[in-house]
Structure 1
Amino acid sequence: MASHLSDHLEVGTDLVLQNRIAAARRQEAAGNILNALQILADLLSTHPGHRDILLALARLNKRIGAPQDSLLLIQLALQSHPTDRELQSELADSLEACGRTDDGLAVLERLALAAPDDPHPLLRLSYMHRRHENHEAAEEICARMLIRYPDFSMGWVSHGIGDHRAGRNVEAETCFQKALTLDPENPVAHLSRACNLLAMGRWREGFAEFEWRRKLPNAVASPVAVPVCNGHEPAGTRLLLWNDQGLGDAIQFLRYLPLVKAHGYKPILVLSKELCRLARSVSGADIVLPSDAPLPPCDAHLPLMSVPFVLGAQKEIVPADEPYVQPDRQSVARWANRLTGLPGLKVGLVWAGAARKNDFQAHTLDRRRSLDLAQLRPLLTTPGTSFVSLQMGREFSSQIAALPPDIRPFNPMDEVEDFLDTAAVIQNLDLVISVDTSVAHLAGALGKPVWILSRFDGCWRWLKDRDDSPWYPTVRLFRQNAPGQWDDVISRTAAALHESIGSGDMARK
């Protein structure tokens, strides 16, 4: 009797503990990181050394940019569970996040040998190699994985991602279709297929598949507990539009606000603070609120990037006249006075995206799209130009200071608070040259000529095998010819800049 009672108590205690861990995950998904940390810290104080708590804390620390703490927590959990496969896999990820990629790869190779019935170590190996541009190694791992586990859906996803990154979109589509045949409810397969379809210009299918992002475990939670919009609500429905993607995505999809209004909705737009003043200049933006503001009553909600799927989108029909955002006139005049003394062609410059070191996956992507300013010397030495930095982040000031004074870009960004301020600066420039980041979208939305330096596996929105964009008529794309190779991109951009100065034509150079 006593033993049965003890068993029941242990089960009940574990259920309470798992519910609290789940509560921490919900807080994390809602962006309440401190609350999530507090829940897990309290649990650990009453259950020291508990495997599941340590694992949850390790994953959360890795997400918030504390990989060393994550590594210590995983190592502590492994002391009492040295053969735990899940902990070993997390150890590999934590080692990679700490810059010890070779050690992480070694852990996964050992795990793959020790667990021949488990395809996940090989899956993680393929991803880790690919994150560090070891594409041949990733392909070899995928081949091993699919020979050994031909019915493993995620193995086909990884193979498809490799094909997509290499520009083999048709082959990638075949892989994603195979993955979905094996597991029709696999959200990673659906989302990967979405990006591939969108890059191929198959927008209707792509935006439909992109809705599967909402089923990912780490999907951003809706800010309101109201039904999601289905496109058939009555006229006058108060629709909360919010952004679950990046800043550039938000700028790109602001163009859909007039379409939302035309469908009879009353839009309420919720965005990060730095976008709000800019968004208020868009037609149809009746109510724009920062994401930390109290929300008014609403009847339905919809992420901005879901608008094309819910309300319809075709490649041939990109809504919005150009430009569809407007700078503040007084700010434009003020910056005109500030920049009037710069001689020659005035060229705005952005050479790096947001590093987002608290998000390892995003940080890995940023490394592929960003440069160091010194790499752009062939541009900066172009006669007849004055460069203006549009690069946000004080950490980039040292890169400007490291250049010789005669080629340093003018840097106004200490006086810029948000995207509306940046828009006023851009309005006084002749051209913007940018890596694929939010400022490129801003320049395009303003109708300003913008040259985008794009990584080899460029974002889906820039499509394939073209140097223009249906999204922004003033865009010109300069794509890498091979992964990680920027020298040729910079040389071609510098040559085009010389040609544009000679011709005096900046219409779409």
Structure 2
Amino acid sequence: MGDETDGDTGTGKGRTSPDAAPGQKDVLRTLRLAAIEHHKRQNRSEAAALYAKYLNQRPEDATIWTNLGVLMRQTGQREQALDFQQRAHRLRPDLWIVRNNLANSLGDFGRHGEAADLFRGLLKERPEDSEAVWNLGRCLRSMGRYEAAVRVLKAGLEAHPRKAQIRLQLALTQLAAGDLAEGFRNYEVRFETGEVPPPKIDLPLWDGEPLHGKSLLVVQEQGLGDSLLCARFLPGLREQGARVHVVCRPPVRRLFAGAALADGVSTKLPDLEGFDAWAPMFDLPRHHFARRADIPKPAVFAVPQQSLERADSLVRPHDGALRIGVVWSGSVTYKANHLRSFGHEAFLPLADIPGVRLFSLYKGPLLEAYRKDGSSALIIDASGEDADLADCAATISRMHLVITADTAVAHLAASLGTEVWCLLHWDPFWLYGHTAENTPWYPRMRLFRQRRPMDWDEVFDRVRGEVEDWTRGALG
């Protein structure tokens, strides 16, 4: 969210004390410079050690406290980051950089009202600061104040028409508010922010022109869940008379290949000879909503027979149970995974409900902790050895209910028609908005939201009560 570090080497208020002895002053200045230089070079362990050593001698230096807070945030130590930013703010509430970094750390804990107040103050001082504009807009969206966010971001875009991040935040706000045509039109800017690397395809980019008799190459661009979400737009391309080839990641290849979604599917770029144009997958909704307002039904994916037979053998010993598939984390490489995910232990109380059998649909590095603490005795490992999401889809099809964090499994289960409860943190993906208990994108999906930032305990208290009610109804 735009943290900044202060590389100023001066000795003004809050920096190396001018009252220090000359020799000590030089030592501290050298130490300060070394810490900042290591930080700039991303030598984070060295920088942290040097910042701490310096602050032991000069605890009044607000700029080094804020630098250390930025470093802690960069390494995922967010509670420490907030503590250090608050210390810096107590020392120098007048410093722009301190207020900016404090606002960012407050946002990490859902304290968006406080963060928004700080960003407003920064904008009063520096109306030309485009970063404070998009940060303020983002805070307002995170509070569900879509109209206010749109006003701020549109005004910011008028003042800074070339700032891609402002337009991206406007797009995400419009999408969350349900303004899909404008939201996806503005989302075209995603490749300009540096967050989504643009595919490099030596073909003309499809601009929405008629496709009858044309060959179109569609390329997956983001996460697995995004590709499952956008797959619903593929049949419409073929209905227009296009020949469609999809390039996707290996985990979804079998799901796409066996379905009537495209004429060809591969995990690598095919020979481009014969193709008329290409489109990144998230361009498909932009062109769809430019012409019509309806949200297409979720894609129908093909589940291989071999995967179904494997799933049947897995669940056969539990034929009489109410089978619930669970997922506690998405990809650990996703930068906001710490917000949407929780520990596998949160599901364990559900295993005590009579008639219920839990199955883990998670595959990834967090399996080690789940297996190590014995949880696999209560939550059967159903997906740890999956070859791909087609295997997972087969297991999902044998579940009575899926309860999951916001992951690809949520999209997959909803697309397969399995009842799915998606557990959301306080500021979720635009698809879910901030208030509703469902989403028009997946009619069979039920949403359970954090009522307080960071509080998963209350969510799971509600989930347990709902599972108990659901179980009583299912068992009669």
What TM bracket, shorter-length normalisation? Answer: 0.7 to 0.9
**Aligned residue type for 1:462:** Y
Aligned to 1:332: 308
Equivalent position of 2:115 in the other structure: 138
Asked if structure 2 preserves the Cα contact closer than 8 Å seen for 1:344 and 1:386, the reply is yes
Task: Show the counterpart of 2:55.
Answer: none
The CA RMSD measured in Å over matched residues stands at 3.4
212-221 vs 485-494, greater mean Cα deviation: 212-221
Does 2:233 correspond to 1:256?
yes
Match for residue 358 of structure 2 among 367, 376, 387? 387
The residue that corresponds to 1:48 in the other structure is none
Q: What is the Cα deviation at residue 475 of structure 1?
A: 0.6
| Structure 1 CA distance for aligned equivalents of residues 98 and 469 of structure 2 | 51
- Per-residue deviation, 1:394: 3.9
In 1, Cα distance between equivalents of 2:386 and 2:213: 37
The one-letter amino acid of 1:423's match is A
Matches within 5 A, 1:177-326: 177-232=154-209, 235-291=212-268, 295-297=271-273, 298-312=275-289, 317-320=294-297, 324-326=300-302
Correspondence for 2:337 among 354, 366, 384: 366
Q: What one-letter code is carried by the residue in structure 2 that aligns with 1:469?
A: T
Matches within 5 A, 1:453-468: 453-468=423-438
Q: Which whole-Å deviations, capped at 9, do the CAs of 1:218-255 have from their partners, x for residues lacking one?
A: 43122312221101155333222112221101111011
* Cα pair 2:211 2:241 within 8 Å, conserved: yes
- Match in the other structure for 2:468: 498
Q: Distance in 1 between matches of 2:92 and 2:222?
A: 34
What is the letter of the counterpart of residue 105 of structure 1? Q
CA contact under 8 A between 1:254 and 1:282: conserved in structure 2?
Answer: no
1:400, distance to aligned residue in structure 2 (A): 4.4
- Deviations 1:356-406, CA, capped at 9 Å, x for gaps: 1xxxxx43x211110111122332322211000001114323224425676
- Cα separation, 2, equivalents of 1:324 and 1:146: 48
How many pairs align?
427
Q: Is the 8 A contact 1:169 1:196 kept in 2?
A: yes
Per-residue Cα deviation, 1:409-431 (whole angstroms, up to 9, x for no partner): 11022320111111111111111
Match for residue 473 of structure 1 among 437, 443, 450 = 443
Change (3 A) 1:276 1:112: farther
Which deviates more, 101-110 or 479-488?
101-110
CA pair 136-207 structure 1, distance change in 2 beyond 3 A: closer
Q: Does the CA-based 8 Å contact 2:116-2:140 persist in structure 1?
A: no
Q: 1:370 to 1:234 in 2, by over 3 A?
A: closer
Over 3 Å counting, the alpha-carbon distance change for 1:163 and 1:69 in structure 2 is: same
| Aligned counterparts of 1:261 and 1:428: Cα–Cα separation in 2 | 31
Q: Residue 416 and residue 160 in structure 1: after superposition, are their counterparts in 2 closer, same or farther (change >3 A)?
A: same
Which deviates further from its counterpart, 434-443 or 307-316?
A: 307-316
Question: For residues 110 and 498 of structure 1, what CA distance do their matches in structure 2 show?
Answer: 48
The one-letter amino acid paired with 2:146 is: N
User: Any gaps of 5 or more consecutive residues in structure 2?
Assistant: 1-35, 52-63
| Partners of 1:486 and 1:207 in 2: CA distance | 31
Question: TM-score, structure 2 length as denominator?
Answer: 0.80
The equivalent position to 1:417 in structure 2, one of 351, 374, 387, is 387
Contact 2:361 2:384 (8 Å CA) reproduced: no
Distance 1:127 1:500, change over 3 A: same
For residues 135 and 104 of structure 1, the distance between their equivalents in structure 2, rounded to whole angstroms, comes to 18
**Amino acid aligned to 2:370:** Q
Identity across the alignment (%): 25
- TM-aligned CA distance change 1:120 to 1:93, over 3 Å: same
Deviates most, 253-262 or 123-132: 123-132
**Residues 1:112 and 1:172: Cα distance change in structure 2 (over 3 Å):** farther
Query: What is the deviation of 1:208?
Result: 0.8
Instruction: For 2:92 and 2:250, locate their aligned partners in 1 and report how far apart those are by CA, in whole Å.
Output: 46
**CA–CA distance in 1 between the matches of 2:173 and 2:167?**
10
CA shift at 1:136, angstroms? Answer: 5.2
